[in-house]
Amino acid sequence: MKNFQNYINGKWMDSPSGKTHENRNPANWDDLIGLFPLSDKSDVDRAVAAAKEAFETWRLVPAPHRGEIIRKAGDLMTARKEEIAKEMTREMGKVLEETRGDVQEGIDTAYYAAGEGRRMFGVTAPSELANKFNMAVRVPVGVCGMITPWNFPMAIPTWKIFPALVAGNTVVFKPAEDTPKTATTLVEILAEAGVPHGVLNLVHGSGTEVGARIVDHPDVNLISFTGSTEVGLKIAEICGRMGKRLSLEMGGKNAQIVMDDANLDLALEGVLWGAFGTTGQRCTATSRLIVHAAVYDKFLSMLTKKVMTLRVGNGLESNVDVGPLVSETQLNTVSQYVEIGKKEGATVSTGGARETGNGRSKGWFFQPTVLSGVTPTMRVAREEIFGPVLSVIKITSLEEAIRVANNTTYGLSSSIYTQNINNAYVAMRDIKAGITYVNAPTIGAEAHMPFGGVKGTGNGHREGGWTAFEIFTEWKTIYVDYSGKLQRAQIDNES
């Protein structure tokens, strides 16, 4: 067992609170990974002060050079990919193949963000006045507070931290309490890559203590949050009152539509990956399966038989398809939703219970579950479950499928399986979601493309690709008048 520390102003240090929390393996709760600080507000205040001071020099470093440091971080992540993946699986449970993908997404983000250090383009435009030059350039925002979840403990922090640093901002980073070790590894890598002292600071602890102080600290200029809608809306209230820039990425209740002309074998592969990858613990997970009545019975039978073959266990084992839930709390939540679905009239076609056989009693395992006979008004069809539970809904037309898909407060990801190009384009146009896949599952974002949703999923910003730089920069408009005389825009040009 090891005692881990915060990273503030280039130094690893304990919290003066003296309090710690345990980080344990969700596949085997007896496996203690380490003790991490339960920091208090004073830790956040020191981190913010360091970031504020460092900003004055970091913002002046040329963007291509800042990008080069992030590229080096990508090289270090590449060299340590397998180590990080195994560490991540032990910490949060998803299978090794997926944690390798999590690390790879961070690597891809590093190389993309590094390149954008040479592509932070501004705009020039002709002036309405003679001998005058107009331009707009991007400038950094300042100190950025990053609050990240446990389900993608490498990828999501890199989505936020890498573009923020390349853009010239400084960072105070609070990772989820369930995945502090992966966050520590990321910060170690960035420090080794050459990020100067104070530019990146790591503060471990709870959302109620550390997260809340980052959000309401007057010297934090921007908050980037990924997590629950409940917490995100509370953060929005505080940032709105304080006039802070805010990027929110919250919940999802994503649907895969299977039309009567779909390639059913392909659609089956898609829903298995979308619903049960990461044990259903993705904001983009396929939580609803909307199936045309003409193929409903056949497809439900195919699905049920295949789900029953999925192997549940420790994600470090090579023959495992579905790992544990991240915590006992999440296990209880998933169990409660299955009971809610049954009371509402859904049928458990397979699964529906905790998995304890073959030495799995020490972990938070839940059987991959299919609920059939679900109607659009049921809670299991409308509320985010965040576990390996799939609700299957029958429809009779494309119009009904799209209406059911849109019948939720969320709007993150969506999918349709069809061989009719006209139906595909109608779905692309009419589904209210930030992401739509055609003949592919609801998961599978790529690092160079915008990521985010509509309605209750977010507040209009997009992470990933060039759009991340829209979050972490401000526009500054500059006018250069070399006429040698006073010229009045929108007045002098009228004569």
The secondary structure of 40-95 as a DSSP string is -HHHHHHHHHHHHHHHHHHTTS-HHHHHHHHHHHHHHHHHTHHHHHHHHHHHH---
Instruction: State yes or no: pLDDT of 359 exceeds 90.
Output: no
Q: Are strands 473-481 and 132-140 parallel, antiparallel or unpaired?
A: antiparallel
pLDDT score for 358: 82
Report percent pLDDT > 90 for the chain. Answer: 98
Query: Does residue 214 register a pLDDT over 60?
Result: yes
Can you give 435-465 as a three-state secondary structure string? EEEECCCCCCCCCCCCECCCHHHECCCCECC
CATH number at residue 246: 3.40.605.10
DSSP string covering 324-383: --S-HHHHHHHHHHHHHHHHHT-EEEE--SB--TTTTTTS--B--EEEEEE-TTSGGGTS
Q: How many CB atoms lie within 10 A of CB 80?
A: 15
Please compute the mean of the pLDDT values over residues 291-318 and round it to a whole number: 97
> Helix or strand or coil: residue 18?
coil
Q: Is residue 281 part of a domain?
A: yes
- CA distances to 203, 231, 234, 245, 347 from 207, rounded to whole Å, are 11, 9, 12, 19, 37
Residues 96 and 179 occupy one common structural domain: yes
Q: Look up the CATH number of the domain holding residue 419.
A: 3.40.309.10
Q: Kindly state whether residue 378 falls inside one of the protein's structural domains.
A: yes
Residues 176 and 214 in one domain: yes
Please report, for residues 188, 237, 269, 469, 486, the alpha-carbon distance to residue 114 in angstroms, rounded to integers and kept in the order given.
18, 33, 35, 12, 42
Q: Running DSSP on this structure, what letter comes out for residue 278?
A: G
Kind of pairing between the strands at 286-292 and 254-258? parallel
**Across residues 178-205, what is the average pLDDT?**
98
pLDDT value at residue 393 = 98
In a shared domain, residues 234 and 262: no
Query: What is the percent of the chain where pLDDT is above 70?
Result: 100
CB atoms within 10 A of CB 343: 10
Residue 434 lies in a domain: yes
Digit-coded pLDDT (tens) for 6-57: 999 999 999 999 999 999 999 999 999 999 999 999 999 999 999 999 999 9
DSSP state of 469: H
Judged on CB neighbours under 10 Å (0-12, 13-18, 19+), 30 is exposed
Catalytic residue among 177, 209, 249, 355: 249
Query: Do residue 312 and residue 400 come from a single domain?
Result: yes
Q: What is the rounded average pLDDT of the residues 97-109?
A: 98
The confidence score (pLDDT) of residue 495 equals 54
Catalytic option among 116, 209, 283, 463: 283
Same domain for 58 and 114? yes
The predicted-structure confidence for 249-264, as pLDDT tens digits, reads as follows 999 999 999 999 999 9
Q: What is the mean pLDDT of the chain?
A: 97
Asked whether residue 446 is assigned to any structural domain, the reply reads no
pLDDT for position 124: 98
| Alpha carbon distance 203, 13 (integer Å) | 10
Do 329 and 201 share a domain, yes or no? Answer: no
Q: Are residues 244 and 328 in the same domain?
A: no
11: β partners: 8
Going 205 to 206 to 209 to 210, the CA torsion angle's sign is positive
Pairing relationship of beta strands 347-350 and 369-374 according to DSSP bridges: antiparallel
Query: What phi and psi, each to the nearest 5 degrees, are found at residue 395?
Result: -135, 170
Q: Give a yes or no: residue 389 inside a domain.
A: yes
Mean pLDDT across the stretch 469-493? 94
Is residue 239 among the annotated active site residues?
A: no
266-288 average pLDDT score:
97
Number of domains in the chain: 2
281 lies in which domain range? Answer: 254-438
Q: Are 282 and 430 found together in one domain?
A: yes
Q: Is the per-residue pLDDT at 397 higher than 70?
A: yes
Work out the average pLDDT over 222-243. 97
Task: Return the amino acid letter for 381.
Answer: A
pLDDT in tens, 464-480: 999 999 999 999 999 99
DSSP-derived 3-state class of residue 306: helix
More confident residue, 11 or 490: 11
Residues 473 and 411 in one domain: no
Cβ-based neighbours of 416, under 8 Å, separated by 6 or more: 256, 257, 259, 401, 423, 424, 427, 431, 436, 437, 438, 439
Is the residue at 384 inside a domain? yes
Query: Are residue 186 and residue 272 in the same domain, yes or no?
Result: no
Q: What is the mean pLDDT of residues 103-115?
A: 98
Cα–Cα dist 13/8, whole Å = 7
Position 154 pLDDT exceeds 60: yes
pTM equals 0.96
Q: What is the predicted pLDDT for the residue at 490?
A: 87
pLDDT digits (tens, 9 = 90+) for 112-140: 999 999 999 999 999 999 999 999 999 99
- The mean pLDDT of 218-235, rounded to a whole number, is 97
Joined together, the tokens standing for residue 234 give 């509370």
With respect to residue 443, please indicate whether it lies within any of the assigned structural domains. Answer: no
Vertex 284: Cα angle to 282 and 286 (nearest 5): 95
Q: Is 339 a catalytic residue?
A: no
Cβ contact 479:133 at 8 Å:
yes
Region 85-105: mean pLDDT is 98
Please report how many Cα atoms fall inside a 13 Å half-sphere around the Cα of residue 389, on the Cβ side: 34
Sign of CA dihedral 28, 29, 31, 33: positive
Is residue 1 in some structural domain?
no
pLDDT at 129: 96
Q: Name residue, tokens 């909307």.
A: 290
Distance between CA atoms of residues 279 and 283, nearest Å: 12
Q: Is the pLDDT of residue 491 over 90?
A: no
